[in-house]
Every structure is written in structure tokens, then in C-alpha cells.
Amino acid sequence: MISATPAPIPAQVRAASEEAFEVTVTEALIANKWRAGQTGDYDAELGIDTAQVWDFLGATQAHVLEKLKELAGADAGNDAANIAMREFVRLLAKEIDQRGALDVLRNGIKDRGLHIDLAYFRPAHAIAEDAFDNYRRNRLSVTRQLRYSPDHTNELDLVLFLNGIPVATAELKSSASAHPQTVEDAKKQYRFDRDPKDLIFAKRTLVHFAVDEQLVFLTTKLKGQKTDFLPFNQGSEGPGNPGGAGNPALSPDGPAYRTAYLWEEVWQRDNWLDLIKRFLHVEDPKRKKGRAGTARRISVHDRTLIFPRYHQWDAVRKLTAHAAHYGSGQNYLVEHSAGSGKSNTIGWLAHHLSVLHGSAEPDALDPKAVDESRIEANKPVFHKIVVITDRTVLDDQLQDTIYQFDHTPGVVQRIKAQDGAKSKQVAEALANTGTKIIIVTAQTFPYILEGVSSLKERRVAIVVDEAHSGQSGDSVAKLRKVLRGLGAEENASTDEEDFLTSSAAERKMHPMLSYFAFTATPKRKTLNLFGVKDPATNLMRGFHVYSMKQAIEEGFILDPLRNYWRYSTSWKVDKEGADEIEVAEDKAKGELAKFVYLNPITLAQHAEIVIDHFATHGRRRLGGRAKAMVVTRSRKAAYEMHKHLVQSAKDLDCEDLGILVAFSGELEAEKEIDGEIKKVKVTEAEINGISEKELPEAFAYARADDPHAALRTGRPGGAPQRTEYRILVVAEKYQTGFDQPLLTHMYVEKPLTDVAAVQTLSRLNRTHPLKNQDDLFVLDFVNDPDDIKKEYAPYFKEARTEPADPNLLYPAQRKVMDHRLLYPEEMSAFITALAKAQPAAGTVTAGQPAERKWEKAHAALYRHTDGARARFVELQEKDRDAAEQFRSDLQDFLRQYGFLSQLMPHPDTDLERLYLYGKHLANILPPPPHDPSLDVGELDLTHMRVTKVGEYDISLTDEDAEDLPPYGGDGVGAYKDPAKALLSEIIDDFNERHGLGLSEADRIMYEERIVAAAEDQDLQEAAVAARNEGDFEHPFNKRFRDIMIERAEADTKFTEKYFSDEEFQGKLLQEARRAAYRLIRRRHNLPDTR
């Protein structure tokens, strides 16, 4: 932390170190049609370069100048121009003060009935001959060493102007001197030597750059010592490539500076104007309540202005450039890490796509795309943009941002459940030419199908947020099918081969659809469907990459793997008569694991560790704001763990740690009602006392940030009470897409594999002003740290995999047909009947005869599968294993074909025939007969111990990165009859693996006796009356002997050891006394001592 203002650099040193750098940058800009500004033309009182403003108006709006001179008054004579200029510049300064430079540049100002533009931005198309004339007349100027305030002589290295309005500043530092300086010195200069209240910073410029030869940082708001700078660098391997922080190394034929991209690319005229017009925006304005309860607007200068990070800007530019050349019918995969700002990137991309037009310039369009009507000159590349996302924030963000860009309401529409029938909303949005962007969730996307008839011969861009989460599956395939059907003839062919060819083609990319898929963790299928083949490696990768490594190094996310604690739990189980029971081995092992993890003893031990650990290591972090997540393996586990956590918090005097639980739907649970244990249905909302919708906000509440916390007494006249929740127990909920920056601790109670491991642990990586790397903890009861590291490895730099081979379908096809249960003539008859049933599908109306005819036709299809089903049933009776192998092979083929058929360059009618027939057949095959050997019955947990294994740093390095394994069909393989084994053998094996090192002192009997002591009325009275544990010793030792005798029959060996082994007895008495004493005292809300 900087504690003092740095000493100023002598002028001669500055000249020797920075001047050459400034000259290089300035000359590069002037060579790119920028103008050199003059310091004398800058009016520091108004914060405007008056000469540039006047010259711009003269070049673009000469008629306005004459009107302004007239308005200055006839008496002005020769001074009319000067008076008009001074009056106009004062008005311009006032408008910027009120509305901000960004709004004034985009929308101009009005002066006594005259509309005056302050900038012209690039038109979307060039239909008009003079469309670009005024755009080319924009005056971009750069002024060196500008004295920017009338109150002092401080100078800025560079100030960038657009038509006389200052839009950016830059402080340049050079290491090429006797007193080398870096970008850190530029940051210090902004923080300590630049007064945020000076006009140029407070109400004029939009962004400030700190630059040296190696790195660029920027901020849009100076706040003195608290100014935050964000990196604006390309990445160590270049933009869009996997790498770390920084910029690429210099190449012999490249620029002289690593940061040359800033002035050569970002400040290039067209790019800079596009940034100002279509990227920069202020965050959604909030309304705050004043003391009297009236709403007041926040000044535009107090709102946060968003400037894209380099990878965001680069991704949008490259995606739109490719689409502008090749048109629709393309797939794009954007692999951007958590912390990359995907919401903003998706918003910018959706807007750019909505205004993207085909260029009329020679060779600008791909000839093949033009021939196939996938793009047209001076026409929109896409007519509609559909954004599939579950981020509700994206709706308001997009609407507000796009309104800032073009002041046109209604461009964005979200399909919402509360706004009426979704199908009607979709139909209206698709038909409305003013609506360009439609936002839907994965659940509402299928409603697009109902209104898609208005999309005939229209090009659609589908932007998918989190591409692997299911939105790119059947619904998208159905959309392709419907769009293809819109171009089909009225009387579709019922010929079998034509039908199969058409059906197979529906699985391929539709020429009118393009997909822009965003994800931080692409799976192999996602890479194959949306990725591109890297010519250097022949591996599938993303179109654009912003790596986890770069996000961590740039400080946009934290690393949850650096402080990883592993606890192991050891058990021994028993079952009476186990040596006489034969069970299915794999199923029995699963039941054993389920039994021990859901056992109340295990849950109680784990819950106590969680509460104790968080109370000791977590609750005071982030100034008392830190929160924790407990990840469980099932809804029942979440419910039970929540109960035990609540009890442990009470026992450990931590009841102020509010605990919530999250699971979907209803759960059957056992509850004590009127003294009886009954099974009842429970929901998350019933347990928490708040609705599911309210849970995220309730969990986000932090008392430390509540200005009314002290008033929340619950008494009359005070603020309403509010519970602060610190722990959230989850089961398949909030493990993806949940951004809660206050989360610092995670307790893992379930196996984590593949993408789920990365997504779950990434809930901790969000940043917060008070949060640093040392605040993060993961305590894992289940997974080996090395296994977790291995799951992370493919996503550290970039996900890559070998291209999937569609030829894998042929061996899968042969496996199915070799069973000789499917007859070709029956399959062909089925396809013919299916083809005949299809034409009615698009013409039926509910309740009409056509609908009943269509339903009847489809119902009749199953008579063509009856023969195969009968042969399967017969085989099932003769050879169960063979029948189940057929089922397994058929399911394997259907799953593979659903994916690989999308990669087939040419339709294969034989494969399509088997797929369509097999899908219908699989639905009607009878299930396997029940196997009683799958039941293991009731088990007994006899031993249990939880041990801390160690603390690990499993952070990844470049050497740890690895590719995803290739897609190999991933079939279920050969069917195996469940291996049978004696339950006693399985229990012995389980105990050997999970019960190593357990002794008699670990027996559950020990804990049962402690609980019995704590519930004894005499001992409760003794513990409450005791001044300390010593006072409790005599009554406890006497009563505990009786408890041991009373329960001797429950475990003879344990009792014998207690009475025969003095050392064991002494140790047990001491530990049991301490445990019982503390348990009783805490249940009575008493401290351990008085």
C-alpha cells in the first residue's frame, strides 16, 4: 500500500525518458489521420478545444454556423463569429456537464431550435452515396503536454479529442532512461498527482490510460489513492489465444513496443469511433432514496462507465468480422473463463450482430455465401438475434445499454412467464421488425418453435450462454427442422430414401442459422459442434480464448485450489447374517457408500467440523462478511446435513451463523409429529422460511454493509429484523452460474468429476474489494486433491480435443444389427409409415379431425415395431444377458448418432433408418426383471473416525495443462450380469479400504454412551450447577460406571475392555466427561466455566 506521494521526476529526466515515447505515439496517430492539437486552443475553464469544435462544425454543418452567427446578433458585426463560438462552446460545456460527453457525442445538442451533431459514426451500410462523407470529416486530435486546469500548471502527457471534446488521457512511462519508470509509476501519478475534481477528469474525459513499453492499464474513474486500474493487455500469447497476463514478446518484423497495439489498433480512427459509439456505456442507473423518501437520480458523472477489456473488444470484433464475410450458417465457440465479463461480451456481441450489414466493397463478401443467400450487400447479416441465457441481469443490461447506443426503445425483448403466454410473446417479437434481440431461457427457447413461421428466408443468430448446459440439444435440432420445413414444398415426398435423406439433413447446420456459443468449460462434444480445427495441431479448439490462467494472473478471479484441505472418514460396518446373503457386488458397494455418508453419526461429525472450521477460520474474514457453501451429494443429504449443521451451531454457541438449504422440488423426509415419526413432504422454502426466488438476495445480505443494522431490534419504531445467513447447503443447485463474491469457504461432501469439479469450486473465485487469495478455503471430505487438480487441468489454458470420428457409428450400427432382432423389411415399413404421417404434422389444429388422424397415424407406427419387441421378450426369457446386451448396444448407438450425425459430411440413410426405428423401439422395450439380489437390507455402522489428512496447494502451472481425451463413443460397453458376492465379503472389503487404523476407542458405542450421559437428568443438573469441569468429575465418574453397566449387553467387548483396562478406562472417562460436560452446558446456553 502506498503511504506517501512519490517525488516528482525532474523535467530533464522526463525529457530523456518519455519524450521519445510520446513522439513515437503521436507521430503514429498523425500518420493514421489524427491531427496534432495545440495547447493554446484548449479552454481549461470549459474543458474543450474550441478550435477543433469550430473547425468540425464548419466542415460538417456550415449552415448551422451561419444560423449561430445570426443568433449572435446583427450588432456584433465582424465579431459575430467569435461571439457565436463563445456562446456555443459555453452551451456545449453546460450540456456535457449535465448529460456527459458520451451522450453528447452520440446524440448531439439543441440550441434555440437547431440540432447540432458533435460526431458522426460509421453507417451500418452505404446505400446513400454520401453516407460516409461526414463520418470522414470527424476531427480526431491528440495534444501533448496539455495544461488542463487554470488552477495549476500540471500537464498530461497525451489527451485525445473527438471534435474538440476530450475523451481520453494517457500517462506514458519509459524504462529507457537513467531513472527508469514503469506503468506502476503512471498509476501512481494518476492516484497522487491528478485531482479527480479537476474538470477534465470529473466531467469530460471517458477513460484514462497508464502506459509503458510493456503494459497498458486503464480506469474510467479517478478516485485518488483508491483509483482502480484494470489491465488492458492482449495476453502473453496474443489476443484470443491461451496464455497468461501481459503482452506477446516482440518479433523481429513486428512493432518496436509491446504496447503498440494501443495506438496502432485501439486508437485507429475507425476502431476508436466504434468503441465510443458501440462499446462504452454507463451502468444501469440506480435510483436511491433520499432522507424524505423521494427518489433522486444519480448524476451521469457519478455512475460507472464501462470500457471493454481487450479480450472482450477483440472477441466481438473478430466474431462480427467473420460473420460479415461469411454470413449465416456458421458455428463459433467462445471459451472465456469465469471473471471474463461474459455478460457484457454477450451484450456487445448481440448489439453488434443486430446492426451488422453486408459490405458493398469489392471482395468483402464470401462468393459462396452470396450464392446461397447467406449474406447480401447492404442488407442485415441477421434479421433476428436470439440470446439463450439464464442470467436475468442480461435483460435489463441489454435494454439499457442498447438504448444508450441508438435511443430506440423496443429493440430488446425478453420472454417472461409473468407477461402472458410465451408462445404469443415469441410470435409478436419475431413478427415485430423493430425487435432485433429476443432473450429467452433454456426452458423458454422451445417456444421459439411455435412462432418460427415468420422467419422464412430470414437469417438468425443464436447466442448461447454456457453452451454445454443443454440449450444446444434437441430444441436447436427442432428449430433447424422447422426452418427447413418452411422452405419445403406443400406436398412433401413420402419416398423412404427421400424422407431419410431429408431427416438426416435436419441434424446438420442450417444455412440460415449461426451459433455463438459461450462457455468457460467446453466439453468434448461442445468443442466438436462449435469449435474450429487448429491447423497447427489438428485439434478442436475455441474460436476465441480467454484462459483461466490469464484471468487469475490479471486478478479478475481468485484460485480456489491454493488452500485445499483434505479430511478422510473411516468406517466399519456390520450386518447380522451377511455371510449367508448373496448380492450384486457393484450395487452393494454403492449402497454401503450411501449408508455411511448419510448415516447420522457421519453427518453429525462432518457438521461439527464444518461449523467449528468456519467459526474459527472464516466468519471474521471480509470484515465479518464471509460466507460458506456446503456441497452435498443428494437432496436428502442436503436436508439431513442442514439439520445437523443447525444442531452443531447450537451446540458450539454459533447460532448466529444463519444456515440456508437449497434443493429442487419436494423431498420426502421423516419428522416427529405428536410423538410419532411420520413421512412428510418438505420443500426448500418451508425449511428456510423464504421463497426460492428470495434465497440469493437473502444469502447476499451482510450486516456489516447494512447502515440500519443497529436499528434492527424488532421493537416498535425500529427497523425490521433481518437474518444474516452465512452458510448455504446445496444439492445440484447454485453450483453453476451463482456469483456471490462473499463466498470464501466451501465444504465438499460429494464426488466432483469432470466439468462439475471446475464449475462447483469456481463459486469461490469471484473477487470482492475486501477479498484476497488468502481468504479462500476448500475443505473436502470426499475427493483426493490430486484428482481435483487433474479435472482442472484441461481448462487452465484452453480446452482442446481430437476431432470426433463419425465412422464410430458403423461399428455401433453393426453391434445392434448383429443381434438379429431387427428385420430390414420391418424397418423400411416403419419409415414409410412415418413419412406418410409427417405432412399432417404442420397442418393440424387441436380438436380437429386432422389432429386425430395424425395421432392415429403415429400410434399405428408401433405395429411395425411389435415384431422386434416380441423377439426381444422371447430372448429375455431365454438369455437375459443377451437381451440386456442388445438394449445396451441400441442405447449406445442412439446416443452416439444424436451427436455424431451432426458431424457427418453426407447423410447416411441406413444410419438414419436405424436411428428413427431404434428410438421408437427403445421406448417400448420391457424393463429388466427385478433382481432381489440388489437389496442389501439394514446395515450397522460400528466404527467411524474423521481425520485431517493435510493441507495442499494444488494450483496449476503450464506443465499441468493437458488436453481433453478424444471422443471414443463413450459407450456403456458390453453388458455384464451383476457380479454376485456374499455380502459379508463385500463388507469385509469395504472395512479394509475405509476402516484402516480404527480401534475399539473409535466404536460408535463410545458416542452412544456420551449421548446417554448428556441426557441423564442427574448429570444435567450437576453440569449446570458446576463452576467448571473439575466440579463435574465426581458425579460423572460415578454415574458413567452405571451407564456402562446398563449398556453392557449392547457391546460386550467394549464393556469388558472398559472394566479390565485401567489405561483405556481412564482415557475414556476423561474424554467422555469433557464431551458430556460441554454438550450439556451448551444445550443450556452456559459457558464452560463461571
Read off the pLDDT of each residue in 1044-1051 and give the average, rounded to a whole number: 62
Read off the pLDDT of each residue in 235-254 and give the average, rounded to a whole number: 94
DSSP state string for 969-994:
-----S--PPPEEEHHHHHHHHHHHH
Q: Is 377 part of any domain? A: yes
In eight-state DSSP terms, residue 774 is G
DSSP state string for 1056-1067:
HHHHH-HHHHHH
* Spatial CB neighbours of 611, under 8 Å, sequence gap ≥ 6: 645, 648, 649, 652, 654, 657
Amino acid at 515: Y
Q: Which of 269-278, 310-319, 817-826, 998-1007 has the lowest mean pLDDT?
A: 998-1007
Rounded to a whole number of angstroms, the distance between the first and last alpha carbons of the chain is 44
In the prediction, which pLDDT does 1045 show? 72
Q: Are residues 940 and 907 in the same domain?
A: no
In the prediction, which pLDDT does 487 show? 46
Top mean pLDDT of 279-283, 366-370, 1039-1043, 1065-1069 is at 366-370
Where in the sequence is the domain holding 675, given as residue range(s)?
564-796+936-994
Read off the pLDDT of each residue in 721-740 and give the average, rounded to a whole number: 90
Among 619, 672, 613, 674, smallest CA distance to 643 is for 672
**Tens of pLDDT, residues 968-987:** 865 544 555 555 444 444 44
**Tens of pLDDT, residues 824-836:** 999 999 998 888 7
Read off the pLDDT of each residue in 830-853 and give the average, rounded to a whole number: 60
Q: Are residues 631 and 728 in the same domain?
A: yes
H-only helix segments in 581-737: 585-598, 600-617, 621-624, 635-651, 684-688, 695-700
Read off the pLDDT of each residue in 407-425 and give the average, rounded to a whole number: 70
Q: Are residues 988 and 1011 in the same domain?
A: no
pLDDT band at 113 (very low <50, low <70, confident <90, very high): very high
| End residue of a domain, out of 901, 924, 947 | 924
Residue 305 and residue 221 in contact, taking contact as beta carbons nearer than 8 Å: yes
Q: Is 303 part of any domain? A: no
Q: Are residues 523 and 572 in the same domain?
A: no
Q: Are residues 782 and 829 in the same domain?
A: no
In the prediction, which pLDDT does 446 show? 67
Read off the pLDDT of each residue in 215-232 and give the average, rounded to a whole number: 97
Q: Are residues 735 and 834 in the same domain?
A: no
SS3 label, residue 671: strand
**Count of the separate structural domains present in the chain:** 5
Question: Is residue 30 over pLDDT 50?
Answer: yes
CATH code of the domain covering residue 720: 3.40.50.300
Sheet with 35-36, strands from edge to edge, namely 35-36, 140-147, 155-162, 165-172, 207-211, 216-219, 230-231
In the prediction, which pLDDT does 681 show? 92
In the prediction, which pLDDT does 658 show? 94
Q: Is 985 part of any domain? A: yes
Q: What's the rounded Cα separation, in Å, for the pair 614 and 628?
A: 8
Q: What's the rounded Cα separation, in Å, for the pair 619 and 627?
A: 7
- The torsion angles phi and psi of 387, rounded to 5 degrees, stand at -105, 120
Question: Is residue 323 over pLDDT 90?
Answer: yes
Question: Is residue 489 over pLDDT 50?
Answer: no
Q: Are residues 944 and 908 in the same domain?
A: no
Across all residues in the chain, what is the average pLDDT? 83
Question: Is residue 994 over pLDDT 60?
Answer: no
Q: Is 96 part of any domain? A: yes
Read off the pLDDT of each residue in 666-671 and give the average, rounded to a whole number: 86
**CA Rg, the chain, in Å?**
35
Q: What's the rounded Cα separation, in Å, for the pair 395 and 412?
A: 8
pLDDT band at 130 (very low <50, low <70, confident <90, very high): confident
Residue 954 and residue 561 in contact, taking contact as beta carbons nearer than 8 Å: yes
Q: Is 718 part of any domain? A: yes
Read off the pLDDT of each residue in 555-567 and give the average, rounded to a whole number: 96
> Residue 49, by phi and psi: left (phi above 0), alpha (psi -120 to 50) or beta?
beta
Percent of the chain exceeding pLDDT 70 equals: 78
pLDDT band at 276 (very low <50, low <70, confident <90, very high): very high
Q: Are residues 354 and 480 in the same domain?
A: yes
Read off the pLDDT of each residue in 106-125 and give the average, rounded to a whole number: 92
Q: Are residues 373 and 511 in the same domain?
A: yes
**Tens of pLDDT, residues 895-949:** 999 899 989 888 899 999 999 999 999 989 998 876 554 555 566 666 667 888 9
Q: Are residues 978 and 1049 in the same domain?
A: no
Is residue 675 classed exposed, middle or buried when 0-12, 13-18 and 19+ CB atoms within 10 A define those classes?
exposed
Q: Are residues 789 and 642 in the same domain?
A: yes
Q: Is 285 part of any domain? A: no
Question: Is residue 367 over pLDDT 90?
Answer: yes
Read off the pLDDT of each residue in 36-61 and give the average, rounded to a whole number: 96
| End residue of a domain, out of 924, 950, 980 | 924
| End residue of a domain, out of 899, 924, 949 | 924
Question: Is residue 125 over pLDDT 80?
Answer: no
* Spatial CB neighbours of 409, under 8 Å, sequence gap ≥ 6: 403
Distance, C-alpha 790 to centroid of its chain? 21
pLDDT band at 398 (very low <50, low <70, confident <90, very high): low
**Tens of pLDDT, residues 191-202:** 999 999 999 999
Read off the pLDDT of each residue in 860-864 and give the average, rounded to a whole number: 82
Read off the pLDDT of each residue in 240-249 and give the average, rounded to a whole number: 96
In the prediction, which pLDDT does 412 show? 81
Q: Is 218 part of any domain? A: no
More confident residue, 1057 or 375: 375
Question: Is residue 656 over pLDDT 70?
Answer: yes
Residue 158 and residue 142 in contact, taking contact as beta carbons nearer than 8 Å: yes
Residue 487 and residue 506 in contact, taking contact as beta carbons nearer than 8 Å: no
**Tens of pLDDT, residues 620-637:** 999 999 999 999 999 999
The model carries a pTM of 0.84
Q: Are residues 22 and 146 in the same domain?
A: yes
Q: Is 264 part of any domain? A: no
In the prediction, which pLDDT does 1035 show? 84
Among 285, 283, 334, smallest CA distance to 312 is for 334
Read off the pLDDT of each residue in 551-577 and give the average, rounded to a whole number: 84
In the prediction, which pLDDT does 70 show? 86
Q: Which of 307-321, 530-544, 582-596, 657-671 has the lowest mean pLDDT?
A: 582-596
* Spatial CB neighbours of 1004, under 8 Å, sequence gap ≥ 6: 601, 941, 942, 943, 944
In the prediction, which pLDDT does 583 show? 47
In the prediction, which pLDDT does 8 show? 45
Question: Is residue 486 over pLDDT 60?
Answer: no
Q: What's the rounded Cα separation, in Å, for the pair 1047 and 38?
A: 97
